[in-house]
């Protein structure tokens, strides 16, 4: 799993304040009742987008705007007030919808940014504002009624809710004859919008909650409660959620006297919700029901001073614990706990096991808040009940992995509740051991379910509990558990699969180090496992873990965690990283830890679970590699012991086709632990079937297994002569299925030909025949050919010290020819351009061989015969072509290899300048002059193509390079097509017209393009991009003076012939359309205009309706927008516009003939 370790930028202050204010003032200065012009609208839209962008930039640090909020929000709210007042006083006045929407959207962004409770404080809240806001939102045809103005309605509803908090008599706004009119109007405004999903419901709920909390609305609230019960019985989900939001907000902020009178009605409402199946199935309904229950219970209990404690360290290093009131328990006996509390707690415990996280989270907070007001004995019983939830799905003696998947919700709810209790100092010292016992299991709650696992939320919540405990518990109570807890947290921070859990465990560890100072080596370990160190999983496993293991207090626990958990993990990536981490830790004391870990790991080799076996084999491979790196007689003996463990794994397990991972791990283990003694023992070896394992791996269909088996063969080849095996492999695999062909390339490329010959000449001949397009032995599989191409440079590198003994010059040239021919592989299938795999392998292979040959050139007597200079430059030109073609990844590989070749020193041979890359000074200036260029990817077309076209001035590389650029012109992706097209046009505009003293001319460019097209007239892949290129040049007037030079008209005639040749028989629509554009664009050239006009009929009467229609459109646009040098007849325009070119009637042919005749007449005149 990829994890992004780059964090959002952190700010120290609101740095963009002035820019923000300027943009906001621009928006507020506009007239909301005037429609903006197009320019004004664009400017205001830009300002709005800038404000939204700044909001997004500071979203994670929204508190930085707090000092400026009043000066920022007040003008916006005042602008809304003035607008509302004008709308109310001058009814029917039309306003600008877009400007009002931007104003409301700005207010909404403030609310989203900092929360409505903070922002509404800066809204106007005079008594007189009530009539303005209320009349504005009730305007029958006002802007508020526009469906798209939801942000405006939301802002006005919040404004009204703020005004309702002012203690004034609503009846003062009523008419003398209509008492209660204002209150009824406010209530109606809120009720109507409770049935709307989204923010309007939030605003309406806030309004009604503030409204019913008033002392003069008691009667309305009684009616609302009765109405709410009928709503819940009707099963209207949207309205029920809105009503619940009102009740929850009201119970939170209303007066106790008012609410206690309705306690029974509230409990009845919660019972109704539970019994209604439709509502009970909705997550939000269950969440608000839980919230309502907990808040009603809180209102039943008297307020009480918090028992929460805060643990901290003073500057002198002493641990201190601060408690608000130490005698709070003395009054416990005076508290009368209502009977309803038991019922509420029972319901909250049930919600704690809900299937949805938001419900469990709400229940956890409710239980903790309620426990804070209960007597100590009662809250202790509550906590015991919470701990009892952990044991519901637990079996005595079973591990956490035996827990059923259904336990996830229960464990998560119990962990959340424990954390909330711990935060408030409600965990007694006597219960701490029991809690930590369950947390030790919750930290590793990871249960596989199908192709994924569940439990990450449980592990996260467990880390939260431990973090909360550090803030409220006494260090003395924690000291017996400190060492064990430190080991738990460190192992989770280093080895958990999920990034957020590793960070959570690291944060909990940091909290304990800072507040308790009980963890061994706390500061040092914290530095190694901080937020950033554990953010990248590979870094946590392979860097941080070995650093922590340097401390003996953690080493054995980390090793045990890797062996018992990580190596048995369901995710293969975790097992492989665990094996790497174990190797790094063992290297700290390989002599002791190697054998100790090996003996523990060996027990899993008998497991029936393939994951256990794979993890054990991967770990043994890592330890064996460590022994091989630190080579000694003792370590060689230990490697033999590890090799013998392969025999303990059932052959059926290794050889099973479904166990590819196990087979690959077994091959890797053979590769790392095989010794000469075992090879010489043959059938008497401790693992007699090790050769069959390798052979099975080579025949496996998975490429990863094949590569592992090839690595095992490479180890074998360094110990003994494998010529018979190589001969058998070539014979069996070359004609076999595609998977066997792929395996052959992997294997032949990694054998150690320096130690033993292994039939070297036969290997080279096999590889060359496998990729030769003229050979009957050519492999049909593109993957197999790619592997063979990759094997050739590996073989050359392998025998490089004795190159002349293994390869004669002719054979070396044959290898280069084969790799060069691979650059022409453009195989296509349903996966796309799969030939690019071969081309990339050949580019890398050629660059690698050139580097190797240059490095040992002094030891090659006839270097020029091994690498002729002309051949070298030919290959460089073809790599350059790949560097400008349409595929980004191919360009990137080619560019990287070219830059490598630029930097290597010339061969140490006579006339070494012959091998200097042509135009190297120009290339260095273009690609390596600026240090940033070396870091820029050749896959970025906007950067590459303006530089690459300049290389057309290098004559030796011009033809292949131009061909590559032409291919990119035909690319379907805009990121390639646009920059290469514009770059070619700009380059052509700067070229002189006739050939002269310059490196290149426009005449030569046209000559080259026409020559390419004439040589490949049947290839649409070549002709279409060339026609596209000519159209670009013609449309940009680059070729406008071509007919004025010698042979210029003949070039235009050739271009016309290419475009119109067999046009009626062509099936490729794109080619026909590009040909049509060529013919139309040539109408401006007097030398070919008449011929072009005569060929227009071929396109206007083409069998394809699409061609006829596009020809008419293009021709009409062309005649209207270009200076033709002659005047087109109006009848031409009339025919082009009025003829139904997509129809199949004879009228189309008549019109086409007539257009062609009229054009010819106009040109002749």
Residue 304 has pLDDT above 70, yes or no: no
CB 299 within 8 A of CB 369: no
Q: Quote the CA–CA distance of 688 and 684 in Å, as a whole number.
A: 6
Q: Quote the CA–CA distance of 1142 and 1151 in Å, as a whole number.
A: 12
DSSP state of 549: T
Q: Quote the CA–CA distance of 486 and 554 in Å, as a whole number.
A: 8
DSSP state of 1144: -
DSSP-assigned letters across all residues of 460-482: HHHHHHHHHHHHHS-HHHHGGGH
Mean pLDDT, residues 709-722 taken together: 92
pLDDT tens across 729-738, in order? 888 888 788 8
CB 672 within 8 A of CB 711: no
Residue 494's pLDDT band (cuts 50, 70, 90):
very high
Predicted local confidence at residue 1145, as pLDDT: 79
Spatial neighbors of 90 by CB under 8 A, at least 6 apart, are none
Sign of CA dihedral 802, 805, 810, 814: negative
- Backbone phi, psi, residue 973, to 5°: -85, 130
Residue 484 has pLDDT above 50, yes or no: yes
Mean pLDDT, residues 34-38 taken together: 91
Residue 399 has pLDDT above 70, yes or no: no
Q: Give CA separation, 592 vs 589, 623, 688, 952, in Å.
A: 6, 12, 29, 65
- CA-wise closest residue to 241 among 192, 288, 296, 292: 288
- CA-wise closest residue to 504 among 542, 546, 534: 534
The β-bridge partners of 310 are 322
Mean pLDDT, residues 1080-1084 taken together: 86
Residue 865 has pLDDT above 80, yes or no: yes
Check residues 228 and 1118 and name the one with the higher pLDDT: 228
Residue 832: in which H helix or E strand, if any?
Answer: strand 832-833
What would the 3-class secondary structure string for 253-322 be?
HCCHHHHHCCHHHHHHHHHHHHHCHHHHCCHHHHHHHHHHHHHHHHHHCCCCCCCCEEEEECCCCCEEEE
Residue 614 has pLDDT above 90, yes or no: yes
pLDDT tens across 185-216, in order? 999 999 999 988 889 999 999 999 999 988 88
Q: Quote the CA–CA distance of 711 and 751 in Å, as a whole number.
A: 8
- Put residue 318 in one of left, alpha, beta given phi > 0 → left and psi -120 to 50 → alpha: beta
How many Cβ atoms sit within 10 Å of the Cβ of residue 222?
14
Residue 316's pLDDT band (cuts 50, 70, 90):
very low
Weakest mean pLDDT among 130-144, 423-437, 1149-1163? 1149-1163
Predicted local confidence at residue 3, as pLDDT: 43
Residue 1062 has pLDDT above 60, yes or no: yes
Weakest mean pLDDT among 48-52, 409-413, 729-733, 957-961? 729-733
Residue 114's pLDDT band (cuts 50, 70, 90):
very high
Residue 536's pLDDT band (cuts 50, 70, 90):
very high
Residue 323 has pLDDT above 60, yes or no: no
- Backbone phi, psi, residue 1040, to 5°: -65, -30
Q: Quote the CA–CA distance of 871 and 856 in Å, as a whole number.
A: 18
Q: Which residue has the tokens 């409710």?
A: 366
Q: Quote the CA–CA distance of 898 and 951 in Å, as a whole number.
A: 13
- Backbone phi, psi, residue 454, to 5°: -120, 160
pLDDT tens across 239-274, in order? 999 999 999 999 988 888 778 788 888 889 999 898
CB 766 within 8 A of CB 727: no
1002-1015 and 1020-1035 helices, crossing angle to 10°: 150
Mean pLDDT, residues 288-303 taken together: 90
Burial class of residue 1095, CB neighbours in 10 A (0-12, 13-18, 19+): buried
Spatial neighbors of 246 by CB under 8 A, at least 6 apart, are 190, 194, 205, 208, 209, 212, 224, 228
CB 581 within 8 A of CB 562: yes
pTM of the model: 0.82
Burial class of residue 931, CB neighbours in 10 A (0-12, 13-18, 19+): exposed
- pLDDT-above-70 percentage for the chain: 94
Residue 328's pLDDT band (cuts 50, 70, 90):
very low
Residue 952 has pLDDT above 50, yes or no: yes
Q: Quote the CA–CA distance of 125 and 77 in Å, as a whole number.
A: 10
CB 127 within 8 A of CB 168: yes
- pLDDT-above-90 percentage for the chain: 53
- CA-wise closest residue to 948 among 874, 1008, 881: 881
CB 1115 within 8 A of CB 1130: no
- CA-wise closest residue to 442 among 418, 462, 421: 462
The β-bridge partners of 323 are 309
CB 413 within 8 A of CB 360: yes
Residue 890: in which H helix or E strand, if any?
Answer: helix 888-903
- Put residue 911 in one of left, alpha, beta given phi > 0 → left and psi -120 to 50 → alpha: left
Kindly state the tokens that stand for 798: 């392998």
Q: Give CA separation, 992 vs 473, 995, 1004, 1042, in Å.
A: 84, 7, 10, 11
Residue 324's pLDDT band (cuts 50, 70, 90):
very low
Residue 631's pLDDT band (cuts 50, 70, 90):
confident
Residue 626 has pLDDT above 50, yes or no: yes
CB 918 within 8 A of CB 960: no
How many Cβ atoms sit within 10 Å of the Cβ of residue 70?
11
Helix, strand, coil tally for the chain in percent (to 5) = 70, 0, 25
- CA-wise closest residue to 297 among 232, 367, 349: 367
- CA-wise closest residue to 936 among 970, 895, 894: 895
User: How much is the mean pLDDT over the chain?
Assistant: 88
Check residues 1121 and 939 and name the one with the higher pLDDT: 939
| 391-415 burial: b if 16+ Cβ within 10 Å, else e | eebbeeeeebeebeeebbbbbbbbb
Q: Quote the CA–CA distance of 652 and 649 in Å, as a whole number.
A: 8
∠ at Cα 192 (186, 195), nearest 5°?
140
Q: Which residue has the tokens 């290899």?
A: 897
Residue 321's pLDDT band (cuts 50, 70, 90):
low
Q: Quote the CA–CA distance of 432 and 996 in Å, as a whole number.
A: 92
Q: Quote the CA–CA distance of 1075 and 1055 in Å, as a whole number.
A: 10
- Backbone phi, psi, residue 92, to 5°: 95, -10
pLDDT tens across 548-601, in order? 999 999 999 999 999 999 999 999 999 999 999 999 999 999 999 999 999 999
Maximum distance among all Cα pairs of the chain, rounded to whole angstroms: 118
Mean pLDDT, residues 8-36 taken together: 89
């Amino acid at each position: 799993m990829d994890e992004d370790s780059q964090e959002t930028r952190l700010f120290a202050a609101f740095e963009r304040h002035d820019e923000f204010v300027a943009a906001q003032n621009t928006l507020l200065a506009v007239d909301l009742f005037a429609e903006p012009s197009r320019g004004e609208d664009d400017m205001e839209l830009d300002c709005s987008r800038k404000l939204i962008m700044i909001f997004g930039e500071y979203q994670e640090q929204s508190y930085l705007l707090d000092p400026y909020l009043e000066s920022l929000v007040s003008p916006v709210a005042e602008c809304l007030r003035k607008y509302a007042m004008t709308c109310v006083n001058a009814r029917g006045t039309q306003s600008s919808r877009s400007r009002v929407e931007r104003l409301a959207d700005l207010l909404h962004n403030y609310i989203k940014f900092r929360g409505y409770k903070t922002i509404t404080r800066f809204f106007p809240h005079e008594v007189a504002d009530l009539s303005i806001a209320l009349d504005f939102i009730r305007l029958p045809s006002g802007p508020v009624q526009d469906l798209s103005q939801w942000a405006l309605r939301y802002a006005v509803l919040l404004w009204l809710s703020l005004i309702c908090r002012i203690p004034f008599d609503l009846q003062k706004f009523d008419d003398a004859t209509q008492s209660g009119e204002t209150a009824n109007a406010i209530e109606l405004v809120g009720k109507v919008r409770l049935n709307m999903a989204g923010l309007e419901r939030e605003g309406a709920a806030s309004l009604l909650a503030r409204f019913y909390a008033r002392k003069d609305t008691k009667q309305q609230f009684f009616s609302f409660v009765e109405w709410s019960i009928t709503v819940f019985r009707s099963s209207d989900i949207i309205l029920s959620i809105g009503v619940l939001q009102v009740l929850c907000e009201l119970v939170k902020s209303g007066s106790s006297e008012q609410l206690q009178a309705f306690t029974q009605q509230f409990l009845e409402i919660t019972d109704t919700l539970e019994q209604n199946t439709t509502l009970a199935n909705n997550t939000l309904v269950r969440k608000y029901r839980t919230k309502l229950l907990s808040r009603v219970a809180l209102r039943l209990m008297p307020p009480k001073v918090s028992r929460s404690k805060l643990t901290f360290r003073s500057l002198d290093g002493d641990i201190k614990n601060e408690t608000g009131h130490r005698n709070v328990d003395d009054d416990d006996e005076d508290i009368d706990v209502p009977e309803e509390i038991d019922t509420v707690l029972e319901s909250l415990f049930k919600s704690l096991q809900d299937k949805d996280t938001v419900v469990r989270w709400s229940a956890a907070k409710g239980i903790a808040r309620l426990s804070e007001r209960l007597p100590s004995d009662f809250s202790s019983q509550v906590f015991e009940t919470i701990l009892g939830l952990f044991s519901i799905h637990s079996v005595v003696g079973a591990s956490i992995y035996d827990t059923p998947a259904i336990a996830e919700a229960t464990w998560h709810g119990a962990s959340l509740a424990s954390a909330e209790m711990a935060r408030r100092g409600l965990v007694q010292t006597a219960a701490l051991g029991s809690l930590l016992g369950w947390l030790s299991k919750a930290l590793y709650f990871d249960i596989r379910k199908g192709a994924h696992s569940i439990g990450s939320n449980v592990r996260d919540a467990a880390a939260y509990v431990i973090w909360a405990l550090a803030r409220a518990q006494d260090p003395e109570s924690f000291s017996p558990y400190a060492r064990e807890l430190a080991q738990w947290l460190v192992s989770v921070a280093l080895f958990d699969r999920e990034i957020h859990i590793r960070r959570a465990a690291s944060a909990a560890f940091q909290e304990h180090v800072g507040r308790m100072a009980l963890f061994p080596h706390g500061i040092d370990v914290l530095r190694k496992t901080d937020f950033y160190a554990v953010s990248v999983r590979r870094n946590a496993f392979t860097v941080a873990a070995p650093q922590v293991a340097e401390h003996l207090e953690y080493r054995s626990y980390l090793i045990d965690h890797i062996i018992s958990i990580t190596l048995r993990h369901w995710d293969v990536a975790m097992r492989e990283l665990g094996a790497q981490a174990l190797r790094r830790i063992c290297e700290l004391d390989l002599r002791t830890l190697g054998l100790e870990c090996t003996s523990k790991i060996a027990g899993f080799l008998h497991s029936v679970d393939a994951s256990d076996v794979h993890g054990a084999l991967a770990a043994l491979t890592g330890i064996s590699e460590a022994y091989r790196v630190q080579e000694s007689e003792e370590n060689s003996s230990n490697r033999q012991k590890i090799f013998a463990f392969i025999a303990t794994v059932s052959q059926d397990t290794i050889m099973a086709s479904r166990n590819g991972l196990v087979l690959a791990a077994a091959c890797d283990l053979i590769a790392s632990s095989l010794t000469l003694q075992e090879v010489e023992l043959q059938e008497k070896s401790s693992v007699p079937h090790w050769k069959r394992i390798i052979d099975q791996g080579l025949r496996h269909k998975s490429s990863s297994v094949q590569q592992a088996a090839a690595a095992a063969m490479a180890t074998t080849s360094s110990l003994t002569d494998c010529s018979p095996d190589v001969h058998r492999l070539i014979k069996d695999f070359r004609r076999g299925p595609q998977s066997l062909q792929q395996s052959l390339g992997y294997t032949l490329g990694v054998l150690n030909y320096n130690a033993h010959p292994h039939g070297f000449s036969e290997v080279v001949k096999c590889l060359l025949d496998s990729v030769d397009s003229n050979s009957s032995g050519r492999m049909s599989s593109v993957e197999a050919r790619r592997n063979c191409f990759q094997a050739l440079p590996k073989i050359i590198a392998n025998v490089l010290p004795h190159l002349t003994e293994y390869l004669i010059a002719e054979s070396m040239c044959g290898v280069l020819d084969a790799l060069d021919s691979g650059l022409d592989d453009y195989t296509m299938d349903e996966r796309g351009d799969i030939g690019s795999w071969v081309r990339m392998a050949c580019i890398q292979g050629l660059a690698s061989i050139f580097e190797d040959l240059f490095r040992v050139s002094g030891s090659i007597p006839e270097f020029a015969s091994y690498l002729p200079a002309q051949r070298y430059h030919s290959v460089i030109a073809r790599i350059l072509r790949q560097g400008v073609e349409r595929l980004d990844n191919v360009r990137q590989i080619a560019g990287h290899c070219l830059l490598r070749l630029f930097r290597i020193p010339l061969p140490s041979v006579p006339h070494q300048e012959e091998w200097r890359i042509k135009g190297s000074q120009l290339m260095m200036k273009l690609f390596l002059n600026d240090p940033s260029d070396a870091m820029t990817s050749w896959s970025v077309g906007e950067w590459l193509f303006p530089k690459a076209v300049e290389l057309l001035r290098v004559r030796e590389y011009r033809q292949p390079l131009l061909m590559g650029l032409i291919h990119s012109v035909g690319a379907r992706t805009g990121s390639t097509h646009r920059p290469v097209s514009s770059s070619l046009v700009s380059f052509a505009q700067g070229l002189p017209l006739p050939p002269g003293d310059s490196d290149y001319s426009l005449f030569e460019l046209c000559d080259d393009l026409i020559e390419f097209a004439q040589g490949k007239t049947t290839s649409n892949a070549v002709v279409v991009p060339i026609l596209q290129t000519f159209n670009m040049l013609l449309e940009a007037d680059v070729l406008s003076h071509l007919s004025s030079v010698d042979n210029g008209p003949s070039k235009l005639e050739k271009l016309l012939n290419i475009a119109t040749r067999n046009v009626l028989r062509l099936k490729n629509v794109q080619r026909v359309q590009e040909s049509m554009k060529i013919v139309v664009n040539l109408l401006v050239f007097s030398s070919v205009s008449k011929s072009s006009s005569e060929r227009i009929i071929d396109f206007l009467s083409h069998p394809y309706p699409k061609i006829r229609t596009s020809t008419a459109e293009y021709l009409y646009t062309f005649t209207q927008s270009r200076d033709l040098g002659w005047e087109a007849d109006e009848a031409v325009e009339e025919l082009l516009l009025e003829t139904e070119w997509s129809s199949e009637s004879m009228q189309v042919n008549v019109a086409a003939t007539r257009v062609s005749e009229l054009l010819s007449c106009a040109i002749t005149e």
